Amino acid sequence: KAGVTQTPRYLIKTRGQQVTLSCSPISGHRSVSWYQQTPGQGLQFLFEYFSETQRNKGNFPGRFSGRQFSNSRSEMNVSTLELGDSALYLCASRPDGGPPYNEQFFGPGTRLTVL
């Protein structure tokens, strides 16, 4: 099976712009989670989608949003970019809706740089 894929791998934007990142989970996985990874804050949970519904949300401002399509592919959007949004954004998929001890399979990430 192909792993989790994320596109693009690298992205450079300027402050005030918006950006959309894409994630394709492993075939058959219906749960997709997004994380922000920065040197200062580590791995921060953004949100999780399962069967096109947001099931969990982290403590990020409303500028961060996401969605999931019927084929389980997911996108996250960040509007009005700030310098502090520069980070590695990781997507992870899980085999099904539960149980919570199911491991997550991570993609390679999208490196976003905001200038």
Of 14-22, 49-57, 59-67, 76-84: span binding other proteins (CB under 8 A): 49-57
Gap between the Cα atoms of 17 and 25, Å rounded: 26
Measured over the CA atoms of residue 20, residue 24, residue 30 and residue 34, the dihedral's sign is negative
Using CB under 8 A, which residues numbered 75 to 94 contact other proteins?
A: 90, 92
The distance of closest approach from Cβ of residue 55 to other proteins in the complex, given in angstroms and rounded to an integer, is 6
Q: Are 53 and 70 in contact (CB under 8 A)?
A: no
Distance in angstroms (rounded) separating the CA atoms of residues 89 and 109: 5
Q: Does 56 participate in binding other proteins (rule CB under 8 A)?
A: yes
Q: Which stretch binds other proteins (CB under 8 A): 14-22, 63-71, 72-80, 102-110?
A: 102-110
Task: Report whether 66 contacts 46 (CB < 8 A).
Answer: yes
Q: In the complex, which residues of this chain contact other proteins (CB under 8 A)?
A: 4, 31, 33, 35, 42-43, 45, 48, 50, 55-56, 58, 90, 92, 97-98, 100-101, 103-109
